[in-house]
Chains A and B, each alone.
Chain A
Amino acid sequence: ILNVEQSPQSLHVQEGDSTNFTCSFPSSNFYALHWYRWETAKSPEALFVMTLNGDEKKKGRISATLNTKEGYSYLYIKGSQPEDSATYLCALHTSYDKVIFGPGTSLSVIP
């Protein structure tokens, strides 16, 4: 079974703080690395899909980087807001469309 790991498991930050999470994965034989945000009582929604080594994506205050050679991706949130509170999932899109998720990082932003 292919293992996708995420750290930390949970995180509590003050409003306005910047934060980052890590996703690590086997560094070969994959098509893409996905990041999703999963808010309570909602469905997970895609933030980024990254494929190339050195890829950097940005959406508002959230950005992500990808290092395929060493098998990790970082997700950054600048100036956290209470509405950023959610579980952040990374997923590895392997060959043949198998998509494997990590356990997630639960973020709580304290007003």
Chain B
Amino acid sequence: DGGITQSPKYLFRKEGQNVTLSCEQNLNHDAMYWYRQDPGQGLRLIYYSQIVNDFQKGDIAEGYSVSREKKESFPLTVTSAQKNPTAFYLCASSFAGGPGTGELFFGEGSRLTVL
């Protein structure tokens, strides 16, 4: 079945450690996105990528890094520089291509807790 797979589903981290969240899609989508959700808030854009080897910062990129070496994969690293990393992280993908396209398909999310 086509879809988006995020792993791990739950992750605990000690302060000062970097962690990497995995996002893989087999939908042949060009664009991929990372969002963060905090309690009582909506989805905030961290990074997004329209094409392999290219990505752009979203609204809250500080303390995060990404790579897009393959079309199928868009891992997110939460670095020790991220001040409040405890959150729910959602990965999404879509066909790129301009107006009228781009419905997002989402993974099941990864919940990161910093101890």
A100, B105: Cα distance in complex, Å: 14
Stretch binding the partner chain, chosen from B16-24, B64-72, B77-85, B95-103: B95-103
Which residues of chain A from 9 to 60 have a CB within 8 Å of any chain B CB? 31-32, 34, 36, 43-46, 49, 51
Is the Cβ of B90 less than 8 Å from the Cβ of A31?
A: no
* CB < 8 Å neighbour of B31 from A6, A36, A89, A97: A97
Is the Cβ of B100 less than 8 Å from the Cβ of A31?
A: yes
Is the Cβ of A101 less than 8 Å from the Cβ of B43?
A: yes
A2, chain B: closest CB distance, angstroms = 8
Interface magnitude class on chain A: 20 to 34
Contact of A34 with B58 at beta-carbon distance under 8 Å, contacts A97-B48, A99-B45, A101-B35 already known: no
B5, chain A: closest CB distance, angstroms = 11
Instruction: Return chain B residues, CB-CB under 8 Å to A46.
Output: 103-105
* CB < 8 Å neighbour of A98 from B43, B44, B56, B105: B56
A46, B94: Cα distance in complex, Å: 11
Contact of A51 with B94 at beta-carbon distance under 8 Å, contacts A99-B48, A102-B42 already known: no
- 27 chain-A/chain-B pairs, Cβ below 8 angstroms: A1-B59, A6-B42, A31-B98, A32-B99, A32-B102, A43-B90, A43-B109, A44-B43, A45-B106, A49-B100, A49-B101, A49-B103, A51-B100, A89-B42, A89-B43, A96-B56, A97-B31, A97-B94, A97-B96, A97-B102, A99-B33, A99-B92, A99-B102, A100-B45, A100-B59, A101-B35, A104-B42
